[in-house]
Structure 1
Amino acid sequence: MSIGNSPEDDRPSVEDDGPSIGRVLQQARVGAGLTVDEVSTSTRVRIPIVHAIEEDDFSCSGGDVYARGHIRMLARAVGLDPDPLIERYDAEHGGRPAPTPAAPLFEAERIRPERRRPNWTAAMVAAIVAVVGFAGFTLFSDGESEGGGNTVAEGAAPETKKPTTPTTKPADPKPDPSDSAIAALPKDKVTVKLSATGDKSWISAKSHNGKLLFDGLLLKGETKTFQDDERVDLILGNAGAIELFVNGKKVKDEFEMGGVERLSYTKGDPEVG
């Protein structure tokens, strides 16, 4: 009688023999009676990307961050819990990347701007020019006062009798720059401005009638502006990297890096959208 391990211990686990991520999503979609077009419409994930993911090809997603977001949205659309699929994706693709330490970034920002040294030569030249100019003006004024003192005295006397009421109207205060920018926007449209400040982000923007305004990557430092008569619908991949302005006002929502956000905005303040 053998005391060693049972042959059953050498069999692969159920997870190793189970269907792949794409196969699981495809089977769940078919079981739910949904087509690829219907899933693409409900998730805003493009049809080629849905087909590629169901074939376990994640190269069209544009990176691990976007691949996780696509898996999460597709799983929810077909009624699956996305967390096991995300964990399996991380296990098959080297795990979730470790966050970049914040301290070196801040140190780099402090070191980057180098304060300029004062230009003493230019300051000395400016001081000399000012002294020479003042001296010349003083000599010129003294010469005029000696040669035509009587004329100046006679002309100055009548002027003292004139009323001193101001004749110029004080200038109106200038409006705040931000208020001027908001006032310049059309009141009958909704205006949405997106800026990728922290990192690149995948953006999808549609008008109120479903017309695609933009669908692609917004690289770091780039800005896109969209307008519509009624509403602008957005999907933000890696939403934490986006700075968002709606109708000239900054949206103060704090989005997470790597997160996916669906947003809609209409005319008026950001709270209206």
Structure 2
Amino acid sequence: MSIGNSPDGNAPDSPGNFPEDDRPTIGRALQQARIAAGLTVDEVSTSTRVRIPIVHAIEADDFTRCGGDVYARGHIRTLASAVGLDASALVAQYDGEHGGRPAPTPAAPLFEAERIRPEPRRPNWTAAMVAAIVAVVGFVGFTMFSGNDKQSGTRSVAEGATATAPAPKPKPDKTVKPAPPKPDPTDSAIAAAPKDRVTVKMVATGTKSWVSARASNNRILFDGFLNKGDSKTFTDPKKLDLVLGDADAVQLFVNGKEVEDDFSPGQVERLTYTKGDPEVG
């Protein structure tokens, strides 16, 4: 039986069954609901992917280990769902006790699916002027040299010497084709994604976000924060399980393709990807 969802609405210590002044704290409500559900902290941590020290801290009403209000709200929502409480009521209680719901952050710019365009460079006018001056000086020198050659040739003919016609210039070989341009490094990296493995690349595009990556053998590949501009790449023969603490702040590239999902700021997402086309697990 789920705590907080009983028909009579009289589950013990459920936030909805207390007046606002008498309701238990968020941590106390989560702890009592977990105990009533017969779950240990280890079991809740395994099912929610919230680390054990953070579960203990939240049950003690210590939200400093969450890394900010956005992550605290996501952890509260996740833990409440795991023990059968009304997640919206607990999040609303948290917002009321911590200055209200944070304003949404502006959406990060989307990455191109195939490559990331480099910033355009400003024209180097100094180099252009130097090149123009060199070209003018070279043209004047060539003209003067050609004029001296013509005068010398005219003088030789007048004296009876035989003028030698200049040798024809060789024609360029049209069969030689220019070398194809080298591929962009980003295109090469995407095209190099192996077909017999699943490859996931994470790029932090917004504020820092807590992420977790787990291999098909349940081995944790990464568990920590990505700051803006950081990236991580993971591979596995079968599948990769991901947890994004702030899904809106992370851009995903799966098997060489960009994953375009409209996540809300502070939204916690659990995703699974395999060797096929990107699919949410």
The residue that corresponds to 1:259 in the other structure is: 267
Find the partner of 1:150 among 149, 158, 164. Answer: 164
How far apart are the structure 2 equivalents of 1:149 and 1:207? Answer: 83
Structure holding more helix per residue = 1
Tell me by how many angstroms 1:272 deviates.
8.0
How far apart are the structure 2 equivalents of 1:14 and 1:252? Answer: 43
Tell me by how many angstroms 1:60 deviates.
1.1
The answer as to 2:211 corresponding to 1:193 is no
Tell me by how many angstroms 1:140 deviates.
3.6
Q: Secondary structure at the match of 1:194?
A: strand
The answer as to 2:17 corresponding to 1:15 is no
Find the partner of 2:239 among 227, 231, 236. Answer: 231
The residue that corresponds to 1:205 in the other structure is: 213
TM-aligned CA distance change 1:192 to 1:122, over 3 Å: closer
Q: Secondary structure at the match of 2:252?
A: strand
Find the partner of 1:88 among 93, 112, 126. Answer: 93
- What is the TM-score with the length of structure 2 in the denominator? 0.74
How far apart are the structure 2 equivalents of 1:176 and 1:269? Answer: 23
Find the partner of 1:218 among 223, 226, 229. Answer: 226
RMSD after superposition: 3.3
TM-superposition CA deviations, 1:1-20 (whole Å, max 9, x none): xxxxxxxxxxxx72222221
Find the partner of 1:36 among 33, 41, 66. Answer: 41
Unaligned runs of 5+ in 1: 1-12, 106-112
8 Å contact 1:266–1:272 — kept in the other structure? no
Which letter does structure 2 place at the counterpart of 1:214? F
TM-superposition CA deviations, 1:95-140 (whole Å, max 9, x none): 112346x6xx9xxxxxxx9x97985x66544332211111223334
8 Å contact 1:36–1:47 — kept in the other structure? yes
How far apart are the structure 2 equivalents of 1:176 and 1:169? Answer: 21
What is the aligned residue count?
A: 244
Tell me by how many angstroms 1:263 deviates.
0.8
Tell me by how many angstroms 1:149 deviates.
5.5
The residue that corresponds to 1:59 in the other structure is: 64
Tell me by how many angstroms 1:168 deviates.
2.5
TM-aligned CA distance change 1:140 to 1:185, over 3 Å: farther
Q: Which moved more, 1:230-239 or 1:167-176?
A: 167-176
Unaligned runs of 5+ in 2: 1-17, 109-118, 154-161
TM-superposition CA deviations, 1:132-152 (whole Å, max 9, x none): 111223334455676596242
TM-superposition CA deviations, 1:41-93 (whole Å, max 9, x none): 11100111111111111111111111110010011111111011111111111
The answer as to 2:103 corresponding to 1:98 is yes
The residue that corresponds to 1:3 in the other structure is: none
The residue that corresponds to 2:75 in the other structure is: 70
The residue that corresponds to 1:6 in the other structure is: none
How far apart are the structure 2 equivalents of 1:122 and 1:44? Answer: 57
Which letter does structure 2 place at the counterpart of 1:30? I
TM-aligned CA distance change 1:167 to 1:218, over 3 Å: closer
What is the identity percentage for the equivalent residue pairs of Structure 1 and Structure 2?
A: 66
TM-aligned CA distance change 1:123 to 1:181, over 3 Å: closer
Q: Secondary structure at the match of 2:269?
A: strand
TM-aligned CA distance change 1:82 to 1:138, over 3 Å: same
How far apart are the structure 2 equivalents of 1:149 and 1:86? Answer: 99
8 Å contact 2:245–2:267 — kept in the other structure? yes
- What is the TM-score with the length of structure 1 in the denominator? 0.76
The residue that corresponds to 1:134 in the other structure is: 139
Tell me by how many angstroms 1:216 deviates.
1.3
